[in-house]
A and B are shown apart, each in its own frame.
Chain A
Amino acid sequence: MTLAAAQQPARRNLTLLWQVLGLLVILGLWWLVTDVLKIWPPYVFPTPKAVWQEFAYGLWGSGPQDGKLLSSVGNSLRRVGLGYLIAVALGGGVGLLMSLWRPLRDTLGAYLQGLQSVPSIAFVPFAILFLGLNEKAVMFVVIIEGFIPVALAVSGAMLNVPPAWRTAGRTLGANNFALVTRVLLPAALPNIVTGLRTAWSFSWRALIGAELLTANPGLGQLLEIGRNTANVALVVATIVIVGVVGGLFDLLIRALETRLRRDYGLEVQA
């Protein structure tokens, strides 16, 4: 055990090294095919420098559309943050009810499973007709995309709690309410957190798709402007930001998940 503990930091450093190397290889290949080999014209596949330039403009440029990168990221984060929180609260409640009440699980649960396979962008026209061409429509799509995996994860995780823990809880005097709050929910937590991670990536993707429609600055709108003005470098720069922000938050939840799994003595998933 102490040996394993000693190996861990070393392994982490090695992973980091590989990740940095991988990034360098990607950048190198990118540079090679655009700047050196010029396989594609720059208006189709921009050079790393052009993309970097878009970052620079977005961060500290002085043109009329410049310096908006941070506010765009902030706007997107605000929308997804609020939407995600609502989705988690709503999904948690519905998932809990589904796990406790079979008729709900057999009906709503089955529908949600089906709805989950509908890509978020398919909800957008409906959201616009229903709520109008505004931020509410964006939030609706973000919430529905986050809500479904949370509800399914909570319900599934609760149902998969080993019976031995239920038995132990009941024999130690827990009534129905305490069984749910003190045994089932904590027992289901690691799997619920996995669901929260899925919900995050669904919500984030849905947001970017839905934001293509809003007038307020946001990452989706940056993509749309890049597209409208034939500015592929801006499109690529935005894709990078969307990926990085999404990945960072995913990493955060994953860290929580790993910690929980370790505390619970469960196998740690790589």
Chain B
Amino acid sequence: MTHRTRTPLAAAAFVSLGLLGAALAQPAATVRIGFFPNLTHAPALIADAKGYYAAQLKGVKVEVKTFVSGTTLSEAFAAGAIDIGLIGPGPAINAAAKGIPVQIIAGASEAGAVLIVRKGTDIAAYKDLAGKKIGVPSLGNTQDISLRALLNTNGLKSQDSGGNVTIMPVAPADVAAAFLSKQLDAALVPEPWGAQLEALGNKVLGDEKSIWRGGKYPSAVVIVNTKFAQANPEIVKGFLKAHLQAVNFMVKSPVAAQAAISSELLKLTSQKVDARVLQRALKRTQITSDIDIDALKDYGQLSLAAGYTRTLPDFGTLVDLSVLKSLSGK
């Protein structure tokens, strides 16, 4: 029995946290899982579509909640409304830096973000981005931080750092409209939005590999509420089993996995993603449970440099892959 709500949690949810903290000490009968209807969250999309969560978590009620941004998911974590979730590394690091009890227990995907420029612009290279308006899903998120890194390595700066590139928060779903009305010149978006925008005639300036680290960077990771993990090791284990099952399914039978993702996206967003678009998007996204800790640390440094955080968490305690390793036998 799964129950779905899209919950951009308001500040009011803060209040409930104090009470929830005490409740979490008991082994839970319910696990609340959060993720986005994005390709970078494909393992969750597959696991939910194929019923892996329910199968691996027998006797536990599974509640699935979808979010539109790392911000809302991170707020839900802070409020104690989510136990396990898939989230971009940026918000995960920020949350840990602020003392929110999160732990990264697995990877979910790598790469899967592209820099798209509006058709009809004269942008042919990164340096042409000078003076342009570039959209990111939200300020301080994973794409925002990668974009700032990209600009830096090309000798450019954003407006709020004294440069001339304007970084605007635009929901990926709104980018197409913003391109049409020429409000934006480019956007760094996660898949499948990149492939969708490309299908509309806009072009890819930087693909998933050229943006950063040759494509070896995490786009989504699995986080768990630390207290929940301590009280419910079996649930965490069950979740990771389902997660690995989904990743394997993706690797072994990509066509069937794509069909599962497509139907799940349709169910969650009421939007049918074109099969060719989905295929192209999946090609740019590496579904994996591995996690490159060095890339994670680099993210932290970039976030620090962008001024979105002042302190970095201890990555040794933030990332705990012991359960994952025991399950995958590595």
Residues of A near any B CB (own CB < 8 A): 39-45, 57, 63-66, 68, 129, 132-134, 213-217, 221, 224-225, 227-232
Contact = CB atoms under 8 A, between A and B. Distances in A.
B25 to A, nearest CB: 15
B57 interface: no
A230 B184 CA distance: 27
B309 A229 contact: yes
Interface of B: 14, 17-18, 70-71, 74-75, 78-79, 91, 94-95, 97-100, 133, 138-141, 159-161, 166-170, 174, 177-178, 181, 183-184, 305-310
Contact of B78 (A43, A65, A217): A43
30 contacts: A40-B14, A40-B18, A41-B17, A41-B99, A41-B100, A42-B98, A43-B95, A44-B14, A68-B160, A132-B181, A132-B183, A133-B178, A133-B184, A215-B166, A215-B167, A216-B159, A216-B166, A217-B160, A224-B138, A224-B169, A225-B140, A225-B308, A228-B71, A228-B91, A229-B140, A229-B308, A230-B74, A230-B95, A230-B100, A231-B309
B98 A231 contact: yes
Nearest to B69: A228
Contacts of A230: 74-75, 78, 91, 94-95, 97-98, 100
Nearest to B100: A43
A229 B183 contact: no
B138 to A, nearest CB: 5
A269 to B, nearest CB: 33
Given A44-B78, A229-B94, A66 B307 contact: yes
Nearest to A50: B98
B181 A42 contact: no
Given A64-B306, A65-B306, A43 B98 contact: yes
Given A133-B168, A213-B169, A215-B159, A228 B141 contact: yes
Contacts of B174: 133
A213 B138 CA distance: 10
Nearest to A65: B307
A65 B17 contact: no
B100 to A, nearest CB: 5
A66 B307 CA distance: 8
A98 B168 CA distance: 40
A215 B14 contact: no
A44 B79 contact: yes
Contacts of B71: 227-228
Contacts of A134: 183
Contacts of B166: 215-216
B169 A215 contact: yes
Nearest to A217: B160
A129 B176 CA distance: 12
A33 B249 CA distance: 50
A42 B99 contact: yes
A225 B78 CA distance: 16
B181 A228 contact: no
A127 B184 CA distance: 16
Nearest to A46: B98
Given A133-B178, A229-B98, A231-B98, 5 more contacts: A44-B78, A64-B305, A215-B167, A230-B94, A232-B98
Nearest to A239: B11
A227 B75 contact: yes
Given A44-B14, A215-B166, A225-B139, A65 B99 contact: no
Contacts of A216: 159, 166
